[in-house]
Chain A
Amino acid sequence: MPEAVISAQNLVKKYRVKGKPDFVAVDGLSFEVAPGESFGLLGPNGAGKSTTMKMIGAVSTRTAGDLQILGLDPDRYGPEIRSRLGVVPQQDNLDGELNARENLYIYGRYFGLPGKVCHEKADELLAFAQLEDKAKNKVDQLSGGMKRRLTIARGLINDPRILLLDEPTTGLDPQARHVLWDRLFRLKERGTTLVLTTHYMDEAEQLCDRLIVVDKGRIMAEGTPASLIREHSSREVLEVRFGSDRNEQVAAELQGIGDRVEVLPDRVLIYAHDGEAALERVTASGLHPLTSLVRRSSLEDVFLRLTGRSLIE
């Protein structure tokens, strides 16, 4: 196994809050990312994912622990590390006054790239982001999906070794998400190391080779999407709805069907190897759900199992 390009040991970040004990956003995370790997941090809002990303991005300083990015300590070599990273922040910080092409050009200048190189790169990346016909449009006139693609393009201006993506598709419509995933796949194929945070399990399943599930600043589980599902959930899930006021009551009668029963406000989840068989047992016991659905287990189920909470609240 090649040496890790990111190595975090007991990473801690605390924030001072006036008149209260320190807020611990990241509480002893340890993980490593191999070159070319696509690594994900999955967790609900406030889990400490963004803070971790900012520390990996050599922007936010850690409170304790050890962190090495590309073999360098971010406390001392921030500019050097950042010169080889691409960053796609959660909140777009494109320059709305400039047009799409100028945004790419000027960002290249921050890395000390010569003007000519920035111009060439800007054209290439506009093509990559499928924004060639929007090159002269001011950023404020672009749609959310286009802005995100432009931000990704901007993050690639320096041919980064590692691309950091914080919630890359949050707020995008399904079509825009798929276009974006496609672009990220291509980067992955090129061998760019991707690190991304998401609270969408389908996104994590699509894009990540390996991921950590984070909650309250701690790692709950680590592995490939498939192994996490295998380890922490059943093969299939049966979702049944009896109406929001009856779900709780019916759940008691469903115990014993499948491996485990989980009650959510709007539905009951039955974890089972064979979802159809479980559904037959439900109806055989005289219960008639308003709707039913059999699906494969997902990371959402893993998360629910590990934390007792749903990812999107």
Chain B
Amino acid sequence: MSLSSVGGPAGSQEQRDGAHPTLDELRAEALEWGRKPRRYGSWYVTEHMVRAMRAYGWTIIVGALGQPIMYLLGLAVGLAALIQVPVISHGSEVGYLVFVAPALLVTAAIAVASEEMTYPVMAGFKWRRYFYGFNASSLSSPQIAHGVIAGATARMFVAVGAYYLFLWIFDFFVETVPHPETGWLSIPVGVAAGLAFGIPLMAYAGSIQDDKGQFALVQRFIFMPMFLFSGTFYPLETLPVALQWIGWVSPLWHGAELGRVATYGAGIAPGMIVLHVVYLIVLMVAGYLWGRRIFIERLAK
């Protein structure tokens, strides 16, 4: 057996000689070894989360490419052909596809969030328990939460980036992004909306002890109504006031409105723009604080 020391930051292992290091030396060694994980630990978890995605990498690629093609074709060739009248959005007239495009892009990020911030969290705590493996190493509980968020963010950028690319390509045939000079800003906006939905969802996923189909309920009774009633396919004002609140609370609406400012310069008052941004940030921060607490408490049991 050869089990020679290859050394970490602090190097050698003199245990085999029988001479044990003093407690002061051991303490100093631990402090030295802890330095890198304390600083970069969140990225180590991210690396793992992204690696784990390779297992279903194919569905990520197909989803990121297929979804925009399907939606844009379906809407451009079908629905937009039917709806010849322009949509009145914030006082100006825009083509139907121009109106729905930013909302679809944001939806793509939210769809990623509803996958990446639910099942992998359940797998980490319960099905595969790899969060406990992380936590037994020098990684801390908050770093695990950070890694989940960063991994999902990476995939959101892929999904939203692909969407934007297709919008840009479609634009050669049917107008989709009248203002490309600011239109690209819809990418970070989409990711922000995805995180505003996803981070609280991650916290909720971390609080679930037993999977009784809660994630399917989230899909059906939160994601779907949000998709349908957040001014995605028609201006929110079209809805009866009694239903408009769904849009007000939904990160999708806030993200889509910001996206509309970016892609076609929708005439939204500056105050409202600030409100949209603040709302998304509040959801992210509140979700993060809740999730952080859940991760710390659950792993420290």
Contact between A70 and B130, CB atoms less than 8 A apart:
no
Contact between B128 and A83, CB atoms less than 8 A apart:
no
Contact between B16 and A191, CB atoms less than 8 A apart:
yes
Contact between A191 and B33, CB atoms less than 8 A apart:
no
Contact between A190 and B300, CB atoms less than 8 A apart:
no
Q: Does B22 contact A (CB under 8 A)?
A: yes
Stretch at the interface among A105-113, A172-180, A255-263: A105-113
A250 to chain B minimum Cβ distance, whole angstroms, is 47
Contact between B20 and A82, CB atoms less than 8 A apart:
no
**In the complex where A78-B140, A93-B128 touch, is A71 in contact with B48 (Cβ < 8 A)?**
no
Interface SS, A side? loop
How many A residues face the partner with a CB closer than 8 A?
55
Interface SS, B side? helix
**In the complex where A80-B138, A83-B34, A124-B2 touch, is A190 in contact with B15 (Cβ < 8 A)?**
yes
**B138 in complex: contacting residue of A83, A95, A191, CB < 8 Å:** A83
**In the complex where A110-B44, A112-B138 touch, is A84 in contact with B51 (Cβ < 8 A)?**
no
Chain B residues whose CB sits within 8 angstroms of the CB of A144 once the complex forms: none
**In the complex where A80-B33, A80-B138, A112-B44 touch, is A5 in contact with B26 (Cβ < 8 A)?**
yes
Contact between A91 and B129, CB atoms less than 8 A apart:
yes
Contact between A158 and B8, CB atoms less than 8 A apart:
yes
Q: Does A60 contact B (CB under 8 A)?
A: yes
Within 8 A of A (CB), among B264-301: 299-301
**B51 in complex: contacting residue of A57, A60, A106, A120, CB < 8 Å:** A106
Stretch at the interface among B35-43, B181-189, B208-216, B225-233: B35-43
Contact between A5 and B23, CB atoms less than 8 A apart:
yes
The residue on B at minimum CB distance from A5 is B26
Contact between B30 and A77, CB atoms less than 8 A apart:
yes
How distant is the Cα of A96 from the Cα of B33 in the complex, in angstroms?
28
How distant is the Cα of A125 from the Cα of B5 in the complex, in angstroms?
11
Within 8 A of A (CB), among B32-63: 33-34, 36-38, 40-41, 44-45, 47-48, 51-52, 55
Chain A residues whose CB sits within 8 angstroms of the CB of B33 once the complex forms: 80, 83-84, 111-112, 158
Determine which residue in B17, B34, B38, B48 has the highest number of CB atoms from chain A within 10 A of its CB, and name it: B34
Mask, A238-257, CB within 8 Å of B = 1, is 00000000000000000000
How distant is the Cα of A5 from the Cα of B45 in the complex, in angstroms?
29
Q: Does B217 contact A (CB under 8 A)?
A: no
Q: How many inter-chain residue pairs (CB < 8 Å) link A and B?
A: 165
Contact between A97 and B55, CB atoms less than 8 A apart:
yes
Chain B residues whose CB sits within 8 angstroms of the CB of A71 once the complex forms: 23-24, 26-27, 30
Q: Does B135 contact A (CB under 8 A)?
A: yes
The residue on A at minimum CB distance from B27 is A71
Q: Does A117 contact B (CB under 8 A)?
A: yes
Chain A residues whose CB sits within 8 angstroms of the CB of B37 once the complex forms: 79, 83, 110-112
Chain A residues whose CB sits within 8 angstroms of the CB of B241 once the complex forms: none
Contact between A94 and B133, CB atoms less than 8 A apart:
yes
The residue on B at minimum CB distance from A161 is B26
A209 to chain B minimum Cβ distance, whole angstroms, is 14
The residue on A at minimum CB distance from B4 is A124
**In the complex where A59-B299, A61-B300, A70-B30 touch, is A124 in contact with B3 (Cβ < 8 A)?**
yes
Give me 22 A-to-B residue pairs in the complex whose CB atoms sit less than 8 angstroms apart, sorted by A's number. A5-B23, A5-B26, A59-B300, A71-B24, A71-B30, A78-B140, A79-B34, A79-B139, A81-B34, A84-B30, A93-B128, A93-B136, A97-B55, A106-B48, A109-B44, A109-B48, A111-B8, A111-B36, A113-B8, A117-B8, A120-B6, A128-B1
Question: CB within 8 Å of B: which residues of A?
Answer: 2-5, 15, 35-36, 54, 57, 59-61, 70-72, 77-85, 87, 89, 91, 93-98, 106-107, 109-113, 117, 120-121, 124-125, 127-128, 156, 158-159, 161, 186, 190-192
Contacts A72-B27, A161-B26 known; 10 new A-B pairs at CB < 8 A: A3-B23, A4-B23, A15-B301, A59-B132, A80-B138, A95-B48, A111-B37, A111-B137, A120-B6, A161-B29
